Structure 1
């Protein structure tokens, strides 16, 4: 089936379980919200984003991916906006942090966005968070613009600085 890749976790991951990386669909909505509301940083008030808005990002504005550990059990997800190269969402179930799922989700999303022709990607995340440290390790740099209107720190990644496209 197109869009599905089953693989052993990379050696840097803690366990040797099988995971499936696949394109997210509207059928994943309940699990996406479960993971999104489970996070303890970069929290979201329930109802602030509707199912319709989520589906628009998955089907019209860009693409999303999930790491699935078993049918219906998602470890995390990422969603990129193809219109502008924006990382719209990337979250991993806090109970599963540190296993490499975030890096897998990040890399497939970044590669896809650069493949769409973008030369610069952007995102924003809470300052002094695990996410900020993660993105810095992945090569993202603060834009220097200060905090945005939601109190998040904007970051950017340029194609020339991404190993696959350098």
Structure 2
């Protein structure tokens, strides 16, 4: 297993992962284009991928422009193996090396993602869009979480 910085050559496999999920499914797969991925990876923030046997099985992308976690997804068959945790942690470490601004994300209620973020120390701060929970992580909360992990 390799976790590394994502690049534009990874976009095709990132899209495969994004469309393989069973929760937080896009109502219209065309809503997230290859160009969107390129912009988030090269202009707005940074991303990471997890590769197993030269196949991308998960990815995460942080957006510095909107102080947002744009994506954290795994192929379903690779869940519950600690990959999501590693992608999450490397992404937040990088994010808070760039800024001390709080970061937010939205996710669908009553999903494994909601449980994951709660267990990871994210605080619910309201709603996002029509039906998503909005979570926030502050710099101080992240530093405190990391200290507990060490």
TM-score exceeds 0.5: yes
Task: Map residues 23-34 of structure 1 onto 2, 5 A cutoff.
Answer: 23-34=5-16
1:74 to 43, 53, 56: 56
Structure 1: tracts of 5 or more residues without a match? 1-18
- Alignment of 1:122 with 2:122, yes or no, is no
Give the C-alpha shift of residue 61 in structure 1: 0.2
**Distance in structure 2 (CA, Å) of the matches to 1:113 and 1:161:** 13
Structure 2: tracts of 5 or more residues without a match? none
**Which has the greater radius of gyration?**
1
Q: Hey, what does 2:119 align to over in structure 1?
A: 137
- How many residue pairs are counted as aligned between the two chains? 145
**TM-score between both structures, scaled by the size of structure 1:** 0.83
- Alignment of 1:60 with 2:43, yes or no, is yes
Structure having the larger proportion of residues in helix: 2
CA-atom RMSD in angstroms: 1.4
Give the C-alpha shift of residue 165 in structure 1: 7.4
2:20 to 18, 38, 41: 38
Q: Hey, what does 1:11 align to over in structure 2?
A: none
SS at match of 2:109: coil
Q: Hey, what does 2:75 align to over in structure 1?
A: 93
Q: Is the 1:67–1:101 contact (alpha carbons within 8 Å) kept by the matching residues of 2?
A: yes
Deviations 1:122-160 (A, max 9, x none): 0000011000000001000100x2x32231100001111
**Distance in structure 2 (CA, Å) of the matches to 1:114 and 1:136:** 19
Provide runs of 4+ in structure 1 moved above 4 Å. none
**TM-score between both structures, scaled by the size of structure 2:** 0.91
Q: Is the 2:21–2:75 contact (alpha carbons within 8 Å) kept by the matching residues of 1?
A: yes
